[in-house]
Amino acid sequence: MGQLIGRASFFVPGPPAEIGQASSSLMKFVAENAVGSIFDLGGGKGAYSMELKKAGFDVTLGEIDPIALKSAKDHGLTAVDTTETSLDQLQGGFDTVLLLEVLEHVEDFDAFLAKAFACARKRLLLTVPCNDDFEELFQLGLSYNHIAVTDHVNHFTSYTLFAALEKLGCKFQIEKGDFLFKHAFLSLVIQKIRSSLLGWFVSWALRAYYRIGNPPRLFPSRFFVVVWKDPS
């Protein structure tokens, strides 16, 4: 796992998702794996908590940012300020704990992960950006967009994520998703040959193929993790 060393002036923090902007792939992951009461830790303004509440889940949001907390509460969500109520006080308080796109923002992620997991009675659901194919993308003149986000201080690979999860001492499952290949490759082709008539035809044909065909899925951009404390 790398850490962001140089931060150019055009790099900016990644804003939290607004209400109504929840990722469909993250929501599908949570809906398929969450059980019982949910603690959406680091839940920002409540984009995911709101969708879970609509789906009938008993959900509590945990956050340190006062602006995000106010937004969540203004939308009728149950929210806990984790600067006032420590995670130690919430141990075993929820069936499922969510860490959706959170660990990449946390300096001491090992300690934070352990405390978050302690809040769960049954399982923890975790997503972080995937950096397994950084070198391959770099060779194509491409990169993950999250590399340049200034508040992403950790960059996980399969190896480093596995090592962090092993410390919890429980069964876990890591899957990769949100594949980038077709968009990344198409962008590269267009960039290289768009100035020619042949390039126009090739890029048009590729666009059509990506819409109606089944192109290979390479370059996953996200890890989806389930950690079980109680297998039930």
Predicted confidence (pLDDT) per residue in 65-124, tens digit: 999 999 999 999 999 999 999 999 999 999 999 999 999 888 899 999 999 999 999 999
Q: Tell me the CA distances in angstroms from 26 to 23, 98, 125, 154, one per residue in order.
A: 5, 11, 10, 20
Provide the pLDDT for residue 71.
94
Backbone angles phi, psi at 171, to 5 degrees: -65, 140
Percent of the chain having pLDDT more than 70?
Answer: 66
How far, in Å, CA of 105 to CA of 114, rounded? 15
Amino acid found at 4: L
Q: Is 197's pLDDT higher than 80?
A: no
**Residue-averaged pLDDT of the chain:** 81
Provide the pLDDT for residue 5.
43
Tens digits of residue pLDDT in 124-179: 999 998 887 656 655 655 555 555 566 667 778 999 999 999 999 999 999 998 87
Q: Tell me the CA distances in angstroms from 207 to 103, 179, 194, 201, 217, one per residue in order.
A: 35, 16, 13, 10, 15
Which domains does the chain show, CATH number per domain?
24-131+152-179+219-228 (3.40.50.150)
Mean pLDDT for the stretch of residues 202-223: 66
User: DSSP strand E in the chain: where?
Assistant: 38-41, 59-63, 78-81, 94-100, 120-129, 171-179, 220-228
